[in-house]
Amino acid sequence: MDNQEVRLKQVLIYAGAFIAFLIGSGFATGQEIMQYFVAYGWLGIAGAIAVFIMFLYVGVSFITVGYENKFQNGSDIYTYYCGKYIGKFYDYFSILFIYMSFMVMIGGAGATIHQQYGLPVAVGGVGMAILAGGTVLFGLNKIIDVIGKIGPIICVMAILLGLSAIIINPGGLSKVNYILPNLNLMKASSNWILAALSYVGFCMLWLAAFMSQMGKTAKSTKEASLGAILGALGFSLAVIIVALGLMTNLEQVAGTLVPSLILAGNIHPYVAIVFSLTVAGGIYTTAVPLLWTVASRIAVEKSNKYKILTVVLTIIGAFVGMNVPFDKLVNIIYVINGYVGILLLALMIIKSIRVKVVQSPLNNSV
């Protein structure tokens, strides 16, 4: 029976890992926020609120199902929700998508270093690849410990950056509806509702296996749920505030690969330098669990095969990530895979309803 024990420190680590996993190159650079939210103006903010509601459901479901079922492999969660055959499809598809997302992280690191310091894209890309690959060699427990502590710090800094942009230029928000139609911003979808669904969809394919494995380490469903709820709240709040900050400076950030650095530079050049390191930290905290998910799915963690595979995957990912424009990587990889994630969300809801029906008092009394 679930004893409902709650360790506050562990709740914060779960929340931090949830946030850190999602604050990758797309979020930290601002490119993801531009395409999924800012491009739709004020309707994009409505989309961000919808994303928060969906994250609450998805996050709590993944981590509590992981706690209750203690899956041997994180990918078993797809079989739980989708059945044997569709679950197998999601298992393989998610691994492919997660690996492509790792390439996006490398591209984001290269773009950030290039925009801020004028250095070749390869400097940031290779540096991030080495950091991520090196960390993954240590295994899951070390990863959760590291990114769970870094995640909240990055989240707070992103929120402060967005708030600063709003305070410096509050009048920019009143001009959004007039400026936006003339900018031809790259969009994630044809409308804000589909963009919100697609956003949650691709994030789900990242989170499923990782959070179900985290749930195994919880002492209770309450502890696991609180971690997911706090993580969803913190991340969604950061999305909304950063989106508003970018909206205050629409003309300035439009068309840039790393719009968040523009906001930081508006405060002070030194702030841009500090925030470039924050962006690198955000990319690192997502690149690591993405790479780990792929390597651990194919080989036993810490085995020689696992170590060799990690190195090979890191090298291939770095090569691709540094040779495709960053904004194109985000738009193509995230958007297409986001629609596949929407189907998973529908299957999760159906499964949840079935479980509730089976566990209902009326059903048990028959």
Neighbours of 245 (CB within 10 A): 31
Containing domain of residue 287, as a range?
A: 8-365
pTM: 0.84
Q: Number of folded domains in the chain?
A: 1
CA nearest to 15, candidates 210, 191, 230: 230
pLDDT value of position 144 = 66
**Is 1 among the domain residues?**
no
pLDDT value of position 10 = 86
pLDDT value of position 325 = 84
HEC string of 229-280 equals HHHHHHHHHHHHHHHHHHHCCHHHHCCCCCHHHHHHHHHCHHHHHHHHHHHH
Residue 1: band (very low, low, confident or very high) from pLDDT cuts 50, 70, 90: very low
The CATH number given to whatever domain includes residue 353 is 1.20.1740.10
Q: What is the pLDDT of residues 267-314, one digit of tens each?
A: 999 999 988 888 888 788 788 888 988 998 888 888 899 999 999 999
Q: Quick one: average pLDDT of 153-165?
A: 87
Q: What is the pLDDT of residues 213-243, one digit of tens each?
A: 888 888 888 888 999 999 999 999 999 999 9
94 pLDDT more than 90:
no
pLDDT value of position 21 = 76
Q: Nearest 5 degrees, angle CA 131-CA 35-CA 262?
A: 65
pLDDT value of position 218 = 82
Cα(279)–Cα(345) distance, integer angstroms? 29
Q: What is the mean pLDDT of the chain?
A: 87
Ranked by mean pLDDT, which of 7-11, 85-89, 146-150 comes out on top? 85-89
52 pLDDT more than 50:
yes
Would you say 285 and 154 are in contact if contact means Cβ atoms under 8 Å apart? yes
Q: Quick one: average pLDDT of 32-56?
A: 95
Cα(49)–Cα(62) distance, integer angstroms? 20
**Is 152 among the domain residues?**
yes
Q: What is the pLDDT of residues 95-113, one digit of tens each?
A: 898 899 899 999 989 998 9
H-assigned helices in 250-359: 250-253, 259-267, 269-298, 304-321, 326-329, 335-359
Q: Quick one: average pLDDT of 116-126?
A: 92
pLDDT value of position 44 = 95
Would you say 129 and 317 are in contact if contact means Cβ atoms under 8 Å apart? yes
Would you say 39 and 209 are in contact if contact means Cβ atoms under 8 Å apart? no
| Identity at 22, one-letter amino acid code | L
Of residues 313 and 29, more confidently modeled: 313
**Is 3 among the domain residues?**
no
Helix 221-247, helix 259-267: angle, nearest 10: 70
pLDDT value of position 344 = 92
**Is 104 among the domain residues?**
yes
Which backbone phi and psi does 105 adopt, to 5 degrees?
Answer: -60, -45
| Identity at 93, one-letter amino acid code | F
**Is 69 among the domain residues?**
yes
One DSSP character per residue, 75-92 reads THHHHHHH-HHHHHHHHH
